[in-house]
Amino acid sequence: MITPVENADLTALNSFGFASRAQYLFDVASDAELLEAVAYADERQLPFLVIGGGSNLVLDEYIPGVVVRQISGGYRVLEEDEGSVLLEVAAGQNWHQLVEQVVDAGWSGLENMALIPGTVGAAPVQNIGAYGVELKDRFVSLTAYDREKQVFVEFSASQCGFGYRNSVFKSVAPGRYIITRVRLRLNKQFVQKTGYGVLSQYLNGQEVTARSVFDAIVAIRQSKLPDPRDLGNAGSFFENPVVPVEQCEQLRAAHPDLVAYPERDGFMKLAAGWLIDHAGWKGYRTGRVGVYEKQALVLVNYGQGSARELMDLASKIQASVMEKYGVALVPEPRCYPQ
């Protein structure tokens, strides 16, 4: 039987470092403990929020109801053949630590996603990705608890509805499913994916291995993104917007140095950081929050800032980019209470 912490301090559990308290906080390490936390909330008709590493959250000063943090970790090998391994990973496992562990084990497929903050359970929600690789490329299936039907269910890759930084867990049924285990298939032989410009430049002249790609991406990300322990942030704050090719061509005619990449047939992905930078926001500071001086895509808390200050700044950036480029920016982090 587990008991919640009342009036729990969440300041250290969100990477922005915003002062926040939860009415009740449960740390759960098993399916049985998760069910206890769900029952506690349901019996009292309380709001319910699951957090992972806190790196994709903007928390207000007070979070009513039950907050659950999954602390289960580790992985096990379910299948293995000459070319691949199938891993089952606990939802509470730190993502970056998992990536390093599989690289050390000699398996390939996750190295491009090194240093992405957060937990494995949160990874499918956003369909996390970086440097030309997304979670869906290695995803096989997951187990989740369905709060509506009150049973554990399985999701295949097709059932997850993965899109760019999107899934059914985010856009169709937010809050309904609590992911508990994720299964990933990795290669035993290194499969190189280094076409992303800055990555190929960094690796130029080096022997390219899973470890060298991992090390390169860690170095690149550390050069661009502040450590949340030093400067509160949630990494990239806005999604890179996807627009029709025609709109991209019109923007490029007016802004020849516009940064854009092919997304899918008929669409282009614009670099949100470029839009924000060229709208004049890079390095901007207002009170206790601002835009990181080295990367316009990162909003930061300089200390003692609040979620409301940050979201006010985000709204102003969105309005500015819409006015200048006619492009809508969508925040990546989840905001609570909504």
Q: Which CATH number is 244's domain given?
A: 3.90.78.10
CATH number of the domain encompassing residue 180: 3.30.465.10
332 is catalytic: yes
Which range marks the domain in which residue 328 is found?
A: 232-336
In the prediction, which pLDDT does 308 show?
A: 95
Dihedral sign (CA 180, 175, 125, 232): negative
For residues 145 and 124, the answer to whether their CB atoms sit within 8 Å is no
Query: Which residue's structure tokens are 């030093």?
Result: 230
Domains identified in the chain, total number: 3
Among the three residues 19, 54, 70, which one is the final residue of a domain in this structure?
70
158 is catalytic: no
Please tell me which residue in 181, 239, 332, 334 is annotated as part of the active site. Answer: 332
* CA atoms of 31 and 144, how far apart (whole Å): 10
- Please write the tens of the pLDDT for every residue from 256-266: 999 998 888 89
Tell me: do 109 and 163 sit in the same domain: yes
Tell me: do 132 and 161 sit in the same domain: yes
Instruction: Say if residue 226 is preceded by a cis peptide, omega within 30 of 0.
Output: no
Residue 215 lies in a domain: no
The mean pLDDT of the chain is 95
Tell me: do 254 and 314 sit in the same domain: yes
Tell me: do 63 and 84 sit in the same domain: no
156 is catalytic: no
Tell me: do 236 and 257 sit in the same domain: yes
Tell me: do 93 and 145 sit in the same domain: yes
Tell me: do 244 and 172 sit in the same domain: no
Residue 226 lies in a domain: no
Please tell me which residue in 15, 55, 72, 236 is annotated as part of the active site. Answer: 236
Please tell me which residue in 69, 165, 181, 185 is annotated as part of the active site. Answer: 165
Tell me: do 56 and 145 sit in the same domain: no
Residue 212 lies in a domain: no
Tell me: do 89 and 126 sit in the same domain: yes
> Which residue positions in the chain have pLDDT lower than 70?
338
Tell me: do 83 and 168 sit in the same domain: yes
Among the three residues 51, 70, 89, which one is the final residue of a domain in this structure?
70
Cut 0.85: pTM above it = yes
Residue 203 lies in a domain: no
Residue 206 lies in a domain: no
| Identity at 171, one-letter amino acid code | S
Residues for the chain: how many in total? 338
Looking at the DSSP assignment, which residues form a beta bridge with residue 268?
A: 243, 262
Among the three residues 187, 203, 221, which one is the final residue of a domain in this structure?
187
114 DSSP assignment:
T
Residue 34 lies in a domain: yes
Residue 224 lies in a domain: no
In the prediction, which pLDDT does 294 show?
A: 93
Tell me: do 139 and 48 sit in the same domain: no
Tokens of 187: 């290669």
Tell me: do 129 and 181 sit in the same domain: yes
CATH number of the domain encompassing residue 57: 3.30.43.10
Residue 213 lies in a domain: no
In the prediction, which pLDDT does 328 show?
A: 98
Instruction: Say if residue 337 is preceded by a cis peptide, omega within 30 of 0.
Output: yes
